[in-house]
Amino acid sequence: MCGIVGYVGPQAAVDVVVEGLRRLEYRGYDSAGVAIVADSAIHLAKKAGKISNLDKVLAEDPLPRSGLGLGHTRWATHGGPNDVNAHPHLSADSRMALVHNGIIENYLTLRAELDVAGITPTSETDTEIVAHLLGLELATGRSLAEAMRTVCTRLHGAFTLVAVDRTDPNHVVAARRNSPLVVGVGKGENFVASDVAAFIEHTREAIELG
Ligand code: GLU
């Protein structure tokens, strides 16, 4: 289980998120990625290896400016440490992006459901299965928060999940079960992270979710 950061506010989300991930580097990881919502689309960059590899990708192909974003440093449990398995993962229609710390123990059962829905995952991760399930819930008209509540009841294991929806530029949605998640309350901006170290330079007001 490695690092997660989510941000909504007036600052450039990519900078806040990548800086937050850097502060979680001490936990160890094998790949890193970030996604933002801009112009009703998800834009993402992810790369195996150090955050400096992600920095290079972002320098060569910068993401548009946005105040909403999330990021992840991965410690692979399902699938090797490569660019495809790195987080964030997208739903089949690319409407939402998801990052995840932990393990979804029943992901093979859930994956079988995706076959029925005609969805073929592109990665080997347990995480991508959850992204597709969230996408299917959104397609029924649910909000991302409602979709997250519904999908979490179906997941076995310990996890922190953080997601954004390209149709909602104002919210980051997060959930946890037996895995850390802290909310940082700022002035006109808010944070979520797996550890307060990710946002301590921006706010010292933190809420540990039960
Ligand atoms: N199980 C997920 C994966 O292998 C998340 C691992 C993590 O906690 O970084 O991608």
Handedness of CA 36, 37, 43, 44 (dihedral sign): positive
pLDDT at 176: 97
**Is the per-residue pLDDT at 207 higher than 70?**
yes
DSSP state of 157: S
Mutate which of 105, 122, 126, 194 for ligand 1 pocket (most atoms within 8 A of beta carbon): 126
Ligand 1 centroid from CA 190, angstroms = 24
50-68 pLDDT tens trace: 999 999 999 999 999 999 9
- Quote the CA–CA distance of 55 and 62 in Å, as a whole number: 10
**Is the per-residue pLDDT at 94 higher than 70?**
yes
User: Which ligand 1 atom is the nearest neighbour of the CA of 101?
Assistant: 8
- Quote the CA–CA distance of 179 and 191 in Å, as a whole number: 17
118-167 pLDDT tens trace: 999 999 999 999 999 999 999 999 999 999 999 999 999 999 999 999 99
pLDDT at 2: 82
Per-residue pLDDT band for 1 (boundaries 50, 70, 90) equals low
Which residue's CA is minimally distant from atom 5 of ligand 1?
Answer: 101
Tokens for 71, please give them. Answer: 């990021």
Mutate which of 83, 101, 177 for ligand 1 pocket (most atoms within 8 A of beta carbon): 101
165-205 pLDDT tens trace: 999 999 999 999 999 999 999 999 999 999 999 999 999 99
Q: Cα–Cα distances in Å, from 207 out to 15, 190, 191, 196, 210?
A: 23, 11, 10, 9, 9
User: Which ligand 1 atom is the nearest neighbour of the CA of 103?
Assistant: 1
Rounded to 10°, the helix 107-116/126-139 angle is 50
Question: What is the three-class DSSP state of 88?
Answer: coil
Ligand 1 centroid from CA 67, angstroms = 26
Spatial neighbors of 39 by CB under 8 A, at least 6 apart, are 64
- Quote the CA–CA distance of 55 and 117 in Å, as a whole number: 36
